[in-house]
Structure 1
Amino acid sequence: MVYVARARLHRRRANVIQTLKTVEGLDKIGVGVRLFVPPWQGKESLEERLRYLGVLRRLDVCATPWLKSHWKAFHFAPFFWIYGRLLKTAASVYTRSVPISLSLTRRKIPHSLEIHDVAAIHRTGALEPVLAAYRRGVVRNLFSISRAAAQMLIEHGAEPTRIHVCPSGVDPAMFRKIQPFDPRRLKSPHIVYVGRISRDRGLDILERLSTLDCCRVTVVGELQDPPRHSPIQVVPFVSHRDIPKYLEEADILVMPYQRHLPHAASISPMKLFEAMAAGRPIIVSDLKPIREIIENGRNGLCVDPDDPEGWVAAVQSLRANPDLALRFSQTARNDAATYSWENRACTIRDVVLRNSGA
């Protein structure tokens, strides 16, 4: 399989980690993958970058300058001049980049496309060309990141039988050594959010929670909007391989995404699956794609993202019901195994290789 990506390995972004973990998962189940990416900045070797991003296997990664952003206007022409024969003869070609997909389509190279943000693709005018290529069979398979994203594609005319839901994943092994959740700590819980936080990702919710006398709130990542007044502790971005130890320190994990977040309609955040694998009680925004993973009252709590007091009530509910919080955490941890990168890779392998005739 050939995977063509635009992920820059020096960036600590979810799309970079998700791409690498997908390739690593394919490698673990015996699918050889050659991954093309743009060059990364800095002097680190490939092995050092992969280790920093939590990837321990040696992957076949080819860095090529012809995938840099400034070649997008030229449909990445030099890349296809150099590697066109390889792409045309590969057992299968895979990408999660719509510009790459459109460039593959221009050259009539069959491939599979993984889609995350349907609304953004539609806004840019690229959705109809993608679906036209899909109807012609150049895009052989569409992998949607959530059932909500799949439904959006169907509403735009995609054939349901050729859309395959493939949520983000997690490496459960990364979390096996962390200490179990201790419900007694809910008397004064440590509430943690991992990643970039802004108003549209729920900073107002975190600020409200940080005003509670019983709690402390930590963001492991970056405040993209300045806080108004609250004492939120910020731990700057850490290596992805170190995420488990910060989740281990949490008593409650929160994901307060707002409805007006651009990709809220189809989101499938990696941090959600990592929170589940960490075995901590989770409070999430009551958004359609999130409810595909978190069932309110079974493996977590879903709260109206527009209701800060509802989030306060959810925290207080966990504090008042430690046995319930423990049950949520254990159920979520068991559920996380379903979303391993290897399971995700099996879905991709079974669909892509079967439909490519390999």
Structure 2
Amino acid sequence: MKLLYIANERIPTDRANGLQIMKTCEAFAKNGIGVELFLPNRKTWAMNEDPFEYYRVDPVFTIRKIPCIDLIPYLSFLGPVPYWLIAVSFSLSAVFYAASRKRDILYFRHDPILFWFLIFFRRNCVGEFHFLARKAYQRFFHRLKLVVVINRAAKEKYDAIPGVKEKVVWAPDGVSVEDFDIKLSQSQARLRLGIGEKDRIVVYTGHFYRWKGIDTLIKAASLLPKNILVLLVGGETPQDSPLSKENLPSNIKKVGQKKYAEVPVYLKAADVLVLTGTKKDDRSNLYTSPLKLFEYMASGSPIVASDTAAIREVLEHKKNAWLVSADDARALSDGIMNMLGDSKLNAALAAQARKDVENYSWEKRAVRIIQAVIAE
């Protein structure tokens, strides 16, 4: 079987999208699928990085950069126009190249422009949708061979669309466990990062969007003893992020964007890993499957997480994590202190999470999707 994956994404990128795409392609290829990944020919923040090495992905599939109009360097002058030009020009190129390629499956991650070009490749087009697609897109789901979703809430919504239920495949995101189950002790990880062995460290990784509930962690940090350091490991701060608008407590430290291969060291060095979510935004509460969730589980460090519907699909309170009320800074700070004060409990929860994450490998996810393609 030959699969053509089309993604309007810069790779390597500082966003999780790039990792998810590369790992998905690798998993398909390792399950016997011939994979070719089409990407826009754009400048990236890590242009000199080999994407396979950057994401620790075996070169078992091919990457082809196809033409697009890239005016992102002039964004400050042209407003949103460059984004539209890239989307339209890349979509046109993708359609042209896809039409000239022999393939059994045309696979894409939801893109508001690309979608309208690809739905006309009927019967062999698979769309993967993160967050909830607008109704304008849902009306054309019947044209797709499969609709891949990453959470149960979206599946329930799409199942209700006439003629679509049999096409919807639930496939939450995953992790390469071997990338995060590193052979370092906590002391060795801290030594590598220059962190004191006796320091008490809380770690959050990822971007700092408000819809991810990062404001709750900021407020919780102010309630923690000042000798507990909260490390924020992530990329640039979005304009709508509370990190750019609030005075941060003195025990919060931003360490900046780190390469994929460096993140596991921070997770191993942590006493507690924090995963926030918010019930104020459906993207966070219902329609997400955070990559950091599975990376945390694979690391072997204990997790304190917001009790949202999306997170509860994977984590269970007092079984593999400590869940706290979403949007409640006091509950989050109390949860962190509870885990810091009970080494027996946090070791048990971390061990169970490490065991449970084996069900969320990229390879198992790929098998689920491939089986659905064959069955459809």
- Of 240, 261, 269 in structure 2, the residue corresponding to residue 249 of structure 1 is 269
Q: CA deviation at 1:191?
A: 0.5
Alignment of 1:271-290 (within 5 A): 271-290=292-311
Provide the alpha-carbon RMSD of the alignment: 2.6
Q: Deviations over 1:150-190 (max 9, x none)?
A: 122234556333211111110011123244569xx998631
Aligned pairs for 1:202-241 within 5 A: 202-211=213-222, 212-213=224-225, 214-222=227-235, 223-224=237-238, 225-226=243-244, 227-231=246-250, 232-241=252-261
Matching residue of 2:78: none
CA drift of 1:81 comes to: 2.9
Contact 1:97 1:113 in 2 (8 A): yes
**TM-score (norm: length of structure 2):** 0.83
Q: Distance in 2 between matches of 1:305 and 1:294?
A: 14
**Per-residue deviation, residues 260-318 of structure 1 (Å, max 9, x unmatched):** 34621211010100000001111111111110001111100221122111111111221
Give the SS at the match of 1:345.
helix
Q: Partners of 1:59 and 1:36 in 2: how far apart?
A: 11
In the alignment, is residue 200 of structure 1 matched against residue 211 of structure 2?
A: yes
Relative distance call for 1:165 and 1:238 in structure 2 (3 A) is: same
- Deviates further, 60-69 or 309-318: 60-69
- Structure 1 residues 186 and 273 mapped into 2: Cα distance closer, same or farther (>3 Å)? farther
233-242 or 74-83, which moves further after superposition?
74-83
Give unpaired runs (5+ residues) of structure 1.
Answer: none
The answer to whether the Cα contact below 8 Å between 1:178 and 1:278 also exists between their aligned partners in 2 is: no
Q: How does 1:134-213 map to 2 (within 5 A)?
A: 134-135=141-142, 138-157=143-162, 159-179=164-184, 189-211=200-222, 212-213=224-225
Query: How far, CA to CA, are the matches of 2:49 and 2:153 in structure 1?
Result: 36
2:59 pairs with 57, 60, 72, which one?
57
What are the superposed Cα offsets for residues 174-216 of structure 1, whole Å, 9 maximum, x if unpaired? 123244569xx99863100001124433333322343322511
Alignment match of 1:22 (pick from 2, 24, 42): 24
Aligned in 2, Cα 1:332/1:107: closer, same or farther, shift over 3 Å?
A: closer
Q: 1:186 touches 1:322 (CA, 8 Å); kept in 2?
A: no
The reply on whether 1:266 has 2:287 as its aligned counterpart is yes
Residue 322 of structure 1: how far off its partner (Å): 1.7
Do 2:27 and 2:366's aligned partners in 1 also have CA atoms closer than 8 Å?
Answer: yes
- Partner deviation per Cα, 1:91-116 (whole Å, 9 max, x = no partner): 11111124323211235463011111
Q: Supply the AA of the counterpart residue of 1:259.
A: K
Displacement after TM superposition at 1:140 (Å): 1.0
Query: What amino acid does structure 1 have at the position aligned with 2:253?
Result: Q
Partner of 1:326: 347
Deviates more, 1:34-43 or 1:166-175: 34-43
Which residue of the partner structure matches residue 104 of structure 1?
A: 118
CA distance in 2 between counterparts of 1:67 and 1:346 reads 36
Identity of aligned residues (%): 26
Counterpart contact for 1:115–1:142, Cα < 8 Å: yes
What residue identity is the alignment partner of 2:356? D
Residue aligning to 1:133: 140
Whole-Å separation in 2 of the counterparts to 1:332 and 1:205: 23
Tell me if 1:3 matches 2:8. no
- Could you say which structure has the greater relative contact order, defined with CA pairs below 8 angstroms and 6 or more residues apart? 1
Whether the 8 Å contact between 2:217 and 2:332 is mirrored in structure 1 is no
The range that moved more, 224-233 or 17-26, is 224-233
Structure 2, gaps ≥5 residues long = 71-82, 188-195
Q: Which residue of 1 aligns with 2:74?
A: none
Q: How many aligned positions are there?
A: 342
Give the letter for the 1:21 counterpart.
K
Compute the TM-score of the two structures, normalised by the length of structure 1: 0.87
Q: Determine the C-alpha separation between the residues in 1 that align with 2:302 and 2:359.
A: 18
2:92: which partner in 1?
77
